[in-house]
Structure 1
Amino acid sequence: MPNRLAFETSPYLLQHAENPVDWWPWGEAAFEEARRRDVPVLLSVGYSTCHWCHVMAHESFEDEQTAAYMNQHFVNVKVDREERPDVDAVYMAATQALTGQGGWPMTVFLTPDAEPFYAGTYFPPREGYGLPSFVRLLSSIATSWEQRRPDLLANAQALTEHIREGSQPQPREGELPEDALARAVAHSARLYDASLGGFGGAPKFPAPTHLDFLLTQPDGQDMALHTLTRMLAGGIYDQLGGGFHRYSVDAQWLVPHFEKMLYDNAQLVRTLLRAYQRTGREEFAQAARETLSYLEREMLSPEGGFYSAQDADTPTEHGGVEGLTFTWTPDEIREVLGADSDLARRYWNVTDGGNFRDPHQPSYGTRNVLHTPTPLGELARDLGGDVPGRLQAAREKLFAARQSRTQPHTDDKILTSWNGLALAALADAGRILGEGRYLELARRNAEFVREQMRLPDGTLRHTFKDGRASVEGLLEDHALYALGLVALYQAGGDLAHLHWARELWSVIRRDFWDDRAGVFFSTGGRAEGLLTRQAQFFDSAIISDNAAAALLGVWMGRYFADEDAEAVAHRTVQSFHAEMLAAPTGLGGLWQVAAFLRSPHSEVALIGTPAERHPLERELARHFLPFTALAPAERGAGLPVLEGREGGGTAYVCVRHACQLPTRDAAELGRQVGALEG
């Protein structure tokens, strides 16, 4: 019989709806049940495309005996970390405090008052990996609850107080030194892998927020560009279908963890487009197009929203096999390509020995993750003939064959925050590449979010699934979607999008800003059922919500002459300046804010109809201007930067409140804005 999760919309929760475990969703009812039965709560947190979450579910949560013990001794609560990042963040802090590390699946034991007293991540069904078996752990916790409860409660209270203290930043004042940006770049250089790109050793994550910061710094851009180049040649990039897998398990960007996340791909599209502006290198633009094609093909909902993620595992009769959809044997290549298989095997480095095996499914053998260690130009010089054309034909045939395979599961919930990242990527692609279909997708996304996920008071919901928007919107939802709207205004010139971003800024200031501490909290004042509110400043896989909100504040200051908004952004940097200096690579978002605040006030107003603006916009798209307020409009009204401007396809370039002569000539515009590029 299905358990209570059958009534939820989260794909992750629904994956566990037929477990023999008597799961409860997160909520007061579960804790009331724990108080009634006088038992602890077992909190299990994961997400639908998490490989080790699947492993633990199969080993333990689908096992009748294990489930019976869980049901007898605990109230069991299952949480989708993507649906409730606020819950995840609180108990991840507890897990890290107790174990020194974190990850998913996350397993936390709580009192009926939601206070944690023991935590870990994955636990195997039998002792191994230096861990106790899950059943042994359950027995130990249950016994301790019966026989040593005062000790457990004392530990829970102490840990809860530690989490609360750590999440309540104290008011601080301080300024970054004059050479702070240079110091941040120098710190990155010390961690930089000059041979393979990226920072540190294995595993390697894309870290687009940090790459975006480096691209704004003349001494940092080469590190970012080389990292992107190595990623595009590696297996972390889907060589056939476009898009990026979640991370590389090695230092070479070769073998990925095969999940594909909306947030990675949306952010990396913007990073690639910025790299294209910096260099003019077509491979960056082409990778952005291919990644957007992947998102449109496999992640776009009928309503216009984008789904969250795709699984690492391919379903088979023997269970999930990681990477099976994406990997190849030489025989499979020969079967699809025939005479051209030798060229394809050489280009994508397909060998008899292979480079990947799922350790949990050894019967599927060793297979090949496609990657391109030999540049196409070098291969064409060696072999002559139409090598690029032959390889493009091979790519299309292999992709068609791959599409006929069983595909990984797609998590089809729609998250506002991650859709904000996708909105920004589409808007930038439309503006920089000059391809209108991206703008149409962006406008459709904005219309969907406005109609389905915005409440009458202007606040946003966090998630949408099966026609229902739910979960109170977080700071990340309001800040990231507003930043996407700023990008959409810059690309399309519809002032309504910028004014909607300003509305969201007002919500952020009202519901998430703490003036005493000088930080933004991740949850609103109405957040219920949480031990504490947290202020997040380290970038995770996405830019931190404090950095996103501060960036939005600077944009509001530049567009609307809102000195208070820019002052809030400056105060946020002041509040975290010590952390920024201590760990620059983990706070790329706040370093972008610092760089933005130190950049000269610069605006480019483009007045005229879309047709009149077009040649000027195409010239402007060639230039890397991350901290310039681009202001397209049909008439000179609606923003301070537009007031008094005349139309007819005229550009006005202003720096530090001093404007150059207006121009209708694209070449002259290029000369004027060229001075703004760092």
Structure 2
Amino acid sequence: MNRLQHETSPYLLQHAHNPVDWYAWKPEAFERARKEDKPILVSIGYSTCHWCHVMERESFENEAVAAFMNEHFINIKVDREERPDVDQIYMEACQAISGSGGWPLNCFLLPDGRPFFAGTYYPPRPMGNRPSWSRLLEYMIHNFREEREKVEAQAEQLTDSIRRSDELFLRAPQGKEAAVAVDRNYLQALYRQMAQQFDRTYGGFGGAPKFPGSMGLKYLLRHHFYFDTPEALQHVQLSLDKMIGGGIYDQLGGGFARYATDQAWLVPHFEKMLYDNALLVDLLVDAYQVTGAERYRRAITETLGFIQREMTAPGGGFYSALDADSEGVEGKFYVWEKSEIETILGDEAALFCAFYDVSEGGNWEGHNILWRPYDEKAFSARHNMALPDLQESLKRSRELLLAARSHRVRPGLDDKIILSWNALQIKAYARAAAVLGEEQYKREAVNNLHFLWEHFLQEDGEGFYHVYKEGHRQYDAFLDDYAFMIDALLAVYRLTFEAEYLEKAAELTDWVVTQFLDEEHKLFYFTSRKQSDLILRRKDLYDSATPSGNSVMLANLLQLSILFDRNDWREIAEEMLRKVQDTVGKYPTSFANWAASLSATVFPPLEIAVLGREAETTIRKLREHYLPGSIIMLSETQNDTFPLLRGKSVTDDTKIYLCQNYSCQLPVSNIEALMTQIEKTK
């Protein structure tokens, strides 16, 4: 066994028996590389990565290949989910060289950590335009030894390119005049830009492969709220309906796969990630508030049922991911033969198979992925069935098949607990609890938030760790961890209205400003000041699979600056907005979470204070309404602690104050009157 046996990452442990002499990303690897003047090979992936498994079987388990790697390179394995900072830097090197990226990511470094070449998957034999892995290794070591000056020059050029890449994003209009450019016309143009990428047949954005795009869809709901744009709402509904009805959604167990390989959402890449499901629950809560559609409520409860059943650690916290593969075959756990279904369901099989598109020949590689190509109402009419009878029959069948599926060999579980992804899931639970009124969801949100605070806080109380597993935690937390944690604290405050969560959010925000802020550009670095094992500090700016740490911190600062009347936070947020407005306007789907905060410059956040002995009852009714970006506070007694509550008297009658920029309208006593006031603010 190699050194990875001492790690806790499931991905690293998968490689612990390789004949390759792997190191983790630890100082001793770099010390040896410098001492022996050897190039470093950094191979980056994650536990549910299909092609990572393939390359391991083909190359890293090969004794001859491993012997060559061990003789000529210092070999480092990195779990990109444990070290997103490492992945971020070397993925950019790969994209600079080839124009694309992916995993496994294989990057060749000088002993000081600067990259001189990077690529993704390499086969054991030449294939297409790809050399074999062995040939590439020979070429890299030849260049390192015989063409060292060229390699050094390439490394310096790549490193400089990575260093300057943030500046491309920051080329925004300068001066105070730029701050007034965001207006209603800007937001309308931003929407039109986003609408050009609508898939108007199957929903979502663009063609295959198809990712959920939850942040873009959330922004469309916000745009519809302010501008009453039916097309925006329709596209969100089309997208969600096609996803929920597609193979990307687990029709038996709930929960979403990472993406679909086709345009119609039928064929998923079967891995399930915690963050996707958390973000989609958050979006579904919005959609349910806007439409009241029962299908969205059902998708929320089924997805959270999947999280509870398969992704929740016994002692607290949520696991990271489920693999696409089981028994070495992608999707084997999830697909069906028609004969299996007929054996399990008996007389009800024909109806189930007709509804879920199950056939003898299958709908994917000779097998059947369950999906819903038909509308329930139309299907029941065509089969002369009452709709409730159809729904009850399908429900019975799903339960029987789910029980049968539970006896199959399960996909691999990545059981590490990541701070940022857990925070996203806590927010999802908190929002579902608030809108659906489910006490179980409230317990999950509150208990797991306390779990994170207790288990991730560093021993000296100064900062958090990034990852936790079986009592072992490591790596300083990154910007995402703090930003999402603050967002989760705010979500739990809006659920419980207990001030301790606001105080903790403020405490963490001060920490982030101290440790992560680039004082010159007023944006946040991905790593803290105290981290020292990287060649440079980068900024996380794009909203990709998850919202960027910067865009979430911007939203946090905007809210907290109002809640605490902190002008220093307000100034940072305003400078961040000024920096990004030009780029967001050009590429809104890549910066959708930024776009949500930019809309707050045109439509200042609604500040709602509910006071009185029946305040909690009033809040429950208020939660039925979609009010994006609103700041809500509740008090049943006189409370002058927070600016929004200060000076507002509490009487037996409920009073609801609607304010913007601390300027309040006359209080009203019911939600209907409040909604009338809100309509006039648009």
Structure 2 length-normalised TM: 0.94
Shift of 1:595: 1.3
Q: Distance in 2 between matches of 1:240 and 1:574?
A: 46
Quick one: which amino acid aligns to residue 373 of structure 2?
P
Match in the other structure for 1:99 = 98
Q: Distance in 1 between matches of 2:30 and 2:497?
A: 50
Shift of 1:469: 2.0
Match in the other structure for 1:565 = 569
Match in the other structure for 1:212 = 218
Q: Distance in 1 between matches of 2:494 and 2:462?
A: 22
Match in the other structure for 2:242 = 230
Q: Distance in 1 between matches of 2:301 and 2:367?
A: 28
2:543–2:591 CA contact under 8 A, matched in 1? yes
Shift of 1:545: 1.0
2:93–2:158 CA contact under 8 A, matched in 1? yes
Quick one: which amino acid aligns to residue 397 of structure 1?
L
Secondary structure of the residue aligned to 1:275 is helix
Instruction: Spell out the pairing of 1:124-203 with structure 2 (5 A cutoff).
Output: 124-167=123-166, 173=174, 174-175=178-179, 176-178=181-183, 179-203=185-209
Quick one: which amino acid aligns to residue 438 of structure 1?
Y
Match in the other structure for 1:346 = 354
Q: Distance in 2 between matches of 1:129 and 1:613?
A: 67
Which of 249, 252, 258 is 1:246 aligned to?
258
Shift of 1:583: 1.1
1:624 aligns with 2:630: no
Match in the other structure for 1:371 = 371
1:604–1:651 CA contact under 8 A, matched in 2? no
Change (3 A) 1:580 1:669: closer
Q: Distance in 2 between matches of 1:530 and 1:470?
A: 16
Q: Distance in 2 between matches of 1:93 and 1:310?
A: 26
Instruction: Spell out the pairing of 1:28-47 with structure 2 (5 A cutoff).
Output: 28-47=27-46
- Residues 522-531 or 472-481, more deviating: 522-531
Instruction: Spell out the pairing of 1:354-503 with structure 2 (5 A cutoff).
Output: 354-357=362-365, 366-383=366-383, 384-385=385-386, 386-455=389-458, 456-503=460-507
Instruction: Spell out the pairing of 1:595-674 with structure 2 (5 A cutoff).
Output: 595-607=599-611, 612-637=614-639, 638-643=641-646, 644-646=648-650, 650-656=654-660, 657-669=662-674, 671-673=676-678
Change (3 A) 1:649 1:282: farther
Shift of 1:485: 0.8
- Residues 600-609 or 562-571, more deviating: 600-609
Shift of 1:453: 0.8
Change (3 A) 1:322 1:331: same
1:262 aligns with 2:274: yes
Quick one: which amino acid aligns to residue 347 of structure 2?
A
1:651–1:662 CA contact under 8 A, matched in 2? yes
2:656–2:669 CA contact under 8 A, matched in 1? no
Q: Distance in 1 between matches of 2:456 and 2:107?
A: 31
Shift of 1:353: 2.1
Change (3 A) 1:171 1:322: closer
Shift of 1:546: 0.9
Q: Distance in 2 between matches of 1:493 and 1:228?
A: 31
Change (3 A) 1:354 1:129: farther
Shift of 1:221: 2.7
Secondary structure of the residue aligned to 2:644 is helix
Q: Distance in 1 between matches of 2:23 and 2:665?
A: 64
Change (3 A) 1:177 1:256: same
Match in the other structure for 1:60 = 59
Quick one: which amino acid aligns to residue 379 of structure 1?
F
Secondary structure of the residue aligned to 1:440 is helix
Change (3 A) 1:495 1:125: same
Secondary structure of the residue aligned to 1:536 is coil
Q: Distance in 2 between matches of 1:649 and 1:327?
A: 58
2:190–2:586 CA contact under 8 A, matched in 1? no
Secondary structure of the residue aligned to 2:369 is coil
Match in the other structure for 1:70 = 69
Instruction: Spell out the pairing of 1:520-531 with structure 2 (5 A cutoff).
Output: 520-531=524-535
Change (3 A) 1:537 1:221: farther
Instruction: Spell out the pairing of 1:253-292 with structure 2 (5 A cutoff).
Output: 253-292=265-304
Quick one: which amino acid aligns to residue 404 of structure 2?
A
Secondary structure of the residue aligned to 1:191 is coil
1:538–1:544 CA contact under 8 A, matched in 2? yes
Match in the other structure for 1:362 = none
Which of 332, 339, 346 is 1:331 aligned to?
339
1:580 aligns with 2:592: no
Shift of 1:390: 0.5
After superposition, the C-alpha distances for 1:105-137 in whole angstroms (9 at most, x for unaligned) are 000000101111111001111111421111111
The percentage of aligned residue pairs carrying the same residue is: 40
Q: Distance in 1 between matches of 2:347 and 2:653?
A: 55
After superposition, the C-alpha distances for 1:272-309 in whole angstroms (9 at most, x for unaligned) are 01011111111111111111111111111123211111
- Residues 75-84 or 303-312, more deviating: 303-312
- Residues 37-46 or 641-650, more deviating: 641-650
Gaps of 5+ in 1: 358-365
Gaps of 5+ in 2: none
1:534 aligns with 2:538: yes
Number of aligned residue pairs: give it: 662
Secondary structure of the residue aligned to 1:655 is strand
Shift of 1:666: 4.9
Q: Distance in 2 between matches of 1:164 and 1:388?
A: 56
Change (3 A) 1:468 1:645: farther
1:42–1:76 CA contact under 8 A, matched in 2? yes
Match in the other structure for 1:360 = none
After superposition, the C-alpha distances for 1:74-103 in whole angstroms (9 at most, x for unaligned) are 010000000000011011111100110011
Change (3 A) 1:6 1:642: same
Quick one: which amino acid aligns to residue 194 of structure 2?
S
- Residues 347-356 or 647-656, more deviating: 647-656
Quick one: which amino acid aligns to residue 340 of structure 2?
E
Change (3 A) 1:575 1:115: same
Q: Distance in 1 between matches of 2:2 and 2:500?
A: 45
Q: Distance in 1 between matches of 2:126 and 2:34?
A: 31
Q: Distance in 2 between matches of 1:298 and 1:104?
A: 25
- How much is the aligned-residue C-alpha RMSD, in angstroms? 1.7
Q: Distance in 2 between matches of 1:527 and 1:484?
A: 24
- Residues 236-245 or 629-638, more deviating: 629-638
Secondary structure of the residue aligned to 1:44 is strand
Shift of 1:191: 1.1
Shift of 1:464: 0.7
Q: Distance in 2 between matches of 1:454 and 1:344?
A: 49
2:612–2:655 CA contact under 8 A, matched in 1? no
